[in-house]
Amino acid sequence: MPLNILLISYNYTPELTGIGKYNTEFCEYLAEEGNKADVITGFPYYPNWKLFKGYENAYYEKEELNGVNVIRCPVYIPAEPSGLKRMAMDFSFYCSTLLVVIKKIISRQRYEVVFVPSPSFLIGIHILMLRFFWRKTKFVYHIQDLQIDAALELGLIKNPWLKNGLLKLEKLILEKSSIVSTISEGMRAKVTAKSAVAQVVYVMPNWVDDKVIYPCKVNVKVIAELGIPAHKKIFFYSGSIGEKQGLEVLLSIAPKLSLACPDLVFVISGSGPYRAQLQLEVLRKQINSILFIDLQPSNIFNQLLNSVDCHLIIQKKQAADLLLPSKLTNILAVGGLSIITAEPETSLFEIVQKNNLGLVIEPENEESLLESIQQVYTSLALNKDSEMILEIKNNAKAYAAKHLNKKSIIDSFLNYVEEFQLK
């Protein structure tokens, strides 16, 4: 039976990465399968923290994109996001979307499911209000990132009154949602620890669209046009360039590797609040082995994923168990080799170690990162993969095929929602 679903989130297409990517793929899949999908979202800004061309962000705007009805709401977008500015952004989006939600209530629109991804966790407040008007609706609060926990770990929230208030509000949203879901077992454990009421948490992992990301033969010309040297050994980072990643470590180890690994080049593909700062440091230190490129459309991105020699998933200790990097799913889908920073007992560490999907090292350990890169480079310099590397690559492809298929993940979730009985 077709469902009528409303998604509320400030991230949606044409954003290529992060939560917007998954929101878009989720809603477009719903529409393809004959469901009715409506979206209340903001104007695209991520990961550049800059409004995309063609959007004004001054008024409300409606559009239909691939069968999905989209309402865009104005939102404050800070050019240099800080903890306080991000909270202001969340509040501005809550206020602008509130007007749209109220209009839907007055016009007596109804939905079988309201799907609210977090962040922004504040959008969960809509669930608290809508329960009074749409009593037969199932409200899904889907946690992509534990926003408050991340802010606390990174020291962005220091006021004890604000901290306690936000945690109590988060707990209330969790307890009043019909279904709480998240993306990993580690995240589920953290969510269930927050409330004695919200103990049943569904795990819906981030997926890979195997029609978009898949193993392929690389077009060397396409890669060369990006300014990436074909004869070098490429160690690749793709994604947001922000405080959680700790990419400044590459600026420290790149000069140390210049003699032992002369053909090594780090390629950083992405945008974010810290990219300009990193680029300036690279220029100041005259580091020739670090290149920056922009995020690429999916067809070129797939070529990139298949062409590089080793992928880097780097993040700081504080962020290690708060989010499972979505970039890992793409790497696994193409059978890529990766060096991953993760602490023991975190979701990322357990998944990679249990299934032998990559080389796992301690976060913020420069020596371990340097040694791992040298180890991989030495093997690559001999123009052959070691048995260890071949096993990792094969395991990666097998894991992606079994656990990360978009259709099976979304279908399983929809079946769970349809069978769920309201409290």
| pLDDT, average across residues 136-142 | 94
Position 423 scores a pLDDT of: 46
Q: Which CB contacts under 8 angstroms, 24+ apart, belong to 413-422? A: 413/181, 413/202, 413/204, 414/3, 416/179, 416/202, 417/3, 417/113, 417/138, 417/140, 417/179, 418/1, 418/3, 420/138, 420/178, 420/179, 422/136, 422/138, 422/178
Token readout for 178 is 């019909």
Position 338 scores a pLDDT of: 95
pTM for this predicted structure: 0.84
More confident residue, 203 or 326: 203
More confident residue, 258 or 156: 258
Number of H helices, E strands in the chain: 15, 14
Average pLDDT, whole number, for the chain? 89
pLDDT interval class at 244 (50, 70, 90): low
Q: What share of the chain is helix, strand, coil (3-state, %, to 5)?
A: 45, 15, 40
Q: Burial of 200 by CB count in 10 Å (0-12 exposed, 13-18 middle, 19+ buried)? A: exposed
Residue type, 375: Q
Q: Would you say residue 319 has pLDDT above 60?
A: no
User: d(Cα 17, Cα 14) in Å, to the nearest integer?
Assistant: 9
Q: Would you say residue 306 has pLDDT above 60?
A: yes
Q: Would you say residue 112 has pLDDT above 90?
A: yes
Position 126 scores a pLDDT of: 95
The pLDDT tens digits of the residues spanning 149-200 come to 877 776 777 778 888 888 899 999 999 999 999 988 888 888 998 887 777 8
Residue type, 376: V
Render 355-374 in DSSP notation, one character per residue: HT-SEEE-TT-HHHHHHHHH
Per DSSP, 82 falls in state: -
The pLDDT tens digits of the residues spanning 350-364 come to 889 999 999 999 988
How far is the CA of 107 from the CAs of 100, 122, 133, in angstroms?
11, 24, 12
More confident residue, 383 or 126: 126
215: left (phi over 0), alpha (psi -120 to 50) or beta: beta
Give the range with max mean pLDDT: 39-43, 321-325, 381-385: 39-43
Position 241 scores a pLDDT of: 80
Position 315 scores a pLDDT of: 80
Position 291 scores a pLDDT of: 95
The pLDDT tens digits of the residues spanning 60-107 come to 999 999 999 999 999 999 988 777 788 899 999 999 999 999 999 999
Q: Which of 297, 307, 328 is nearest to 395 (CA)?
A: 328
Q: Would you say residue 414 has pLDDT above 60?
A: yes
The pLDDT tens digits of the residues spanning 206-227 come to 999 888 999 999 999 999 999 9
